[in-house]
């Protein structure tokens, strides 16, 4: 599942970095010579516009161990002045001292923020620490200090409590993880007891296999291309009547856009006929006004 990264940004360096490489996205062309060709190709697929947003942390044993835990779909919360003011979704990470120097130079201790991670879907928030603390289970007077990553349980509370899940990026899920969660769900008769965290594993696997690293994809119904945040992984056969083998089949879903195709696809044939008939009848009763 996705985890939550806590990133206080109250000091001068952090405030400047936020402006330099998040509020003002960085062109891929600028960073191309500081990273290897494979990383550059992957970043081009993630950021087809040619612009990206970047953050980094300084080298230390503690920071490195935390940075290694970062994965696609993790959610960074930026905080300052007693509140969380924005969130962002992790898309990629790499280690490059040269890139960090190009972007941020060195701090007053002679080190740079070389453990880099890329982000997207930056959203403005206004969450006071006390509200965050009560959702997580911290004391009311807890203050976010230092780069940190919450464990699965606390992350789940924050993601669900503040609706921070990404529609575009998700963690990399293995087939074994996917298979395990499907098996667990089918063993539970009351499906409402199946947690949101477990359901996300299934959705992440299906979206991962359907879209890969592409950010633009065609709707399986109307054929128009949209950012994948506007596409649903729609079950060809209704999910609640799929057996185990069908739920494990990645071909059980197709992309459907949120601009009408998914709603129409969800309707049964008779329901669709009645819906269109009713809509047609209503249109006859509309009196045009000049």
What beta strand segments (E) does the chain contain? 4-8, 26-27, 51-57, 75-80, 83-95, 115-128, 148-149, 216-218, 225-227, 231-235, 253-257
Tell me the mean pLDDT in the region 23-46: 96
pLDDT at residue 226, as a whole number: 87
pLDDT at residue 179, as a whole number: 72
Structure tokens at 84: 């969380």
Rounded to a whole number of angstroms, the distance between the first and last alpha carbons of the chain is: 54
pLDDT at residue 193, as a whole number: 46
Q: How far is CA 136 from the centre of its chain?
A: 20
Judged against a pLDDT cut of 70, whether residue 268 lies above it is answered with no
Greatest mean pLDDT among 51-65, 177-191, 213-227, 249-263 lies in: 51-65
Judged against a pLDDT cut of 80, whether residue 231 lies above it is answered with yes
pLDDT at residue 288, as a whole number: 46
Judged against a pLDDT cut of 60, whether residue 273 lies above it is answered with no
Residue ranges of the domains in the chain?
A: 4-162, 175-269
pLDDT band at 95 (very low <50, low <70, confident <90, very high): very high
pLDDT band at 265 (very low <50, low <70, confident <90, very high): confident
Characterize 15-54 residue by residue with b for buried, 16 or more Cβ atoms within 10 angstroms of its Cβ, and e for exposed.
eebbeebbeebbebeebeebbeeebbebbeebbeeeebbb
Q: Which CATH class is domain 4-162?
A: alpha beta
pLDDT band at 188 (very low <50, low <70, confident <90, very high): low
Judged against a pLDDT cut of 70, whether residue 197 lies above it is answered with no
pLDDT band at 190 (very low <50, low <70, confident <90, very high): very low
d(Cα 109, Cα 253) in Å, to the nearest integer?
A: 52
């Amino acid at each position: 599942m996705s985890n939550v990264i806590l990133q206080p940004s109250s000091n001068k360096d952090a405030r400047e970095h936020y402006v330099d490489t998040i509020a003002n996205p960085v062109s891929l062309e600028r960073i191309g010579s500081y990273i290897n060709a494979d990383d550059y190709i992957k970043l081009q697929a993630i950021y087809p516009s040619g612009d990206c947003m970047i953050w980094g942390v300084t080298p230390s044993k503690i920071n490195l161990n935390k940075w290694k835990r970062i994965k696609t779909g993790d959610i960074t919360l930026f905080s300052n002045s007693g509140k969380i003011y924005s969130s962002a979704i992790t898309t990629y990470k790499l280690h490059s001292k040269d890139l960090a120097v190009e972007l941020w130079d060195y701090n007053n201790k002679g080190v740079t923020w070389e453990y880099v991670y890329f982000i997207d879907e930056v959203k403005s928030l206004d969450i006071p620490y006390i509200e965050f603390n009560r959702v997580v289970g911290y004391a009311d007077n807890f203050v976010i200090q230092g780069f940190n990553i919450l464990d699965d349980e606390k992350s789940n509370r924050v993601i669900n409590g503040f609706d921070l899940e990404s529609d575009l990026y998700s963690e990399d899920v293995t087939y074994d993880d996917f298979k395990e969660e499907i098996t667990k769900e089918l063993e539970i008769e009351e499906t409402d007891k199946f947690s949101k965290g477990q359901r996300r594993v299934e959705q992440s696997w299906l979206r991962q296999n359907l879209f890969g690293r592409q950010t633009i994809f065609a709707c399986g119904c109307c054929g128009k291309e949209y950012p994948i945040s506007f596409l649903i992984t729609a079950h060809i056969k209704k999910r609640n009547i799929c057996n185990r083998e069908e739920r494990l089949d990645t071909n059980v879903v197709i992309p459907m856009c949120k601009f009408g195709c998914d709603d129409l696809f969800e309707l049964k044939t008779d329901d669709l006929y009645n819906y269109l008939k009713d809509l047609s009848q209503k249109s006859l009763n509309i009196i045009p006004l000049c």
